[in-house]
Amino acid sequence: MILTKYVMYRGKKKPVSELSPTCGYKVDVKCPVCGKVRNVFYASVANAGHTICHACTIKMKQSKHLEVGSKFNRLTVLRSSERSGYSICECDCGNIVEVLNRQLTSGRTKSCGCLQKEKASQTLLENVRKGKEHPNWKGGKTSETNRIKSQKRFKEWKEALLSRANHKCEKCGSTKDLHTHHIWPIASYPEKILDLDNGIILCSRCHRRFHHLYGRAATQEEFQKFMTE
């Protein structure tokens, strides 16, 4: 029920019934369920089509019973609980639990708790497993390139290139997010991975642009073209 009958509009009284559903006026309304009076925007009342307060709306939704036999993830509804808004459910593992209806319908509660325990056990098992027993096992071989990149001499090579370039991109002069780039692709010339003459400093933007234009196996001619264009 809307209690406010008139609002002041340009110095004159205007009936609330003549207000636009998008206006910015506030009116006093009374919840027909609990009787609480509150001051709200008329637009919210017009859009909702009722004056029921938020608390009563939630209670009304919770009081609705879920259909027996409905399945929500691992939980199947057996019957309504004596508590309003709850259902008695059977989990796939056999446990009987009482669950809040909105937790079921929203998907926030998916099991009696067994699902979380299974995930925790799996994580613990993966942390304990090593070598061939680990799910991420890839044959026990680390590429020579990755091995070298993890070594101190690769870091020294990178620092030498940065120092030579004055910590700037050698294409655009940017000083942000600098990368090292191999002129001769190390996939084809692995022996040149630590060759200073085969390295150059590029910012992330120029680096991405180069590989977008010429791929991962660009020739030296393509590199020279990129640097001079």
69 and 101 share one domain: yes
Euclidean distance between CA atoms 122 and 30, whole angstroms: 54
Euclidean distance between CA atoms 30 and 6, whole angstroms: 16
The C-alpha angle 77, 97, 89, rounded to 5 degrees, equals: 5
Residue 97's contacts (CB-CB under 8 Å, 6 or more residues apart) are 75, 88, 89, 91, 112, 113
Q: pLDDT per residue over 22-79, tens digit each? A: 888 899 999 988 889 999 988 888 888 888 888 887 777 666 788 899 999 999 999 9
| Region label for 199, one of left (φ > 0), alpha (ψ between -120 and 50) or beta (otherwise) | beta
pLDDT of the residue at 146: 76
- Decide if 191 is inside a domain: yes
Query: In which band, very low, low, confident or very high, does the pLDDT at 189 lie, cut at 50, 70 and 90?
Result: confident
Query: In which band, very low, low, confident or very high, does the pLDDT at 143 lie, cut at 50, 70 and 90?
Result: low
Tokens 């020739």 belong to: 219
Quote the percentage of the chain above a pLDDT of 90.
35
Check whether 126 has a pLDDT greater than 70.
no
- Decide if 129 is inside a domain: no
Give the mean model confidence (pLDDT) for residues 129-140.
55
Quote the percentage of the chain above a pLDDT of 70.
89
User: Which of 61, 79, 97 is the C-terminal boundary of a domain?
Assistant: 61
The single-letter DSSP state of residue 66 is P
Indicate the average pLDDT of the chain: 85
pLDDT of the residue at 141: 47
Euclidean distance between CA atoms 166 and 180, whole angstroms: 13
- The answer to whether 42 touches 18, Cβ cutoff 8 Å, is no
154 and 224 share one domain: yes
- Decide if 122 is inside a domain: no
pLDDT of the residue at 130: 54
User: Which of 61, 83, 98 is the C-terminal boundary of a domain?
Assistant: 61
- The answer to whether 7 touches 17, Cβ cutoff 8 Å, is no
155 and 94 share one domain: no
pLDDT of the residue at 37: 92
pLDDT of the residue at 125: 65
Query: In which band, very low, low, confident or very high, does the pLDDT at 136 lie, cut at 50, 70 and 90?
Result: low
Check whether 170 has a pLDDT greater than 50.
yes
Give the mean model confidence (pLDDT) for residues 128-138.
56
- Decide if 124 is inside a domain: no
> What three-state secondary structure class fits 131?
helix
pLDDT of the residue at 190: 85
Structural domain including 14 reads 6-61
- The answer to whether 111 touches 92, Cβ cutoff 8 Å, is yes
Query: In which band, very low, low, confident or very high, does the pLDDT at 133 lie, cut at 50, 70 and 90?
Result: low
15 and 80 share one domain: no
pLDDT of the residue at 99: 93
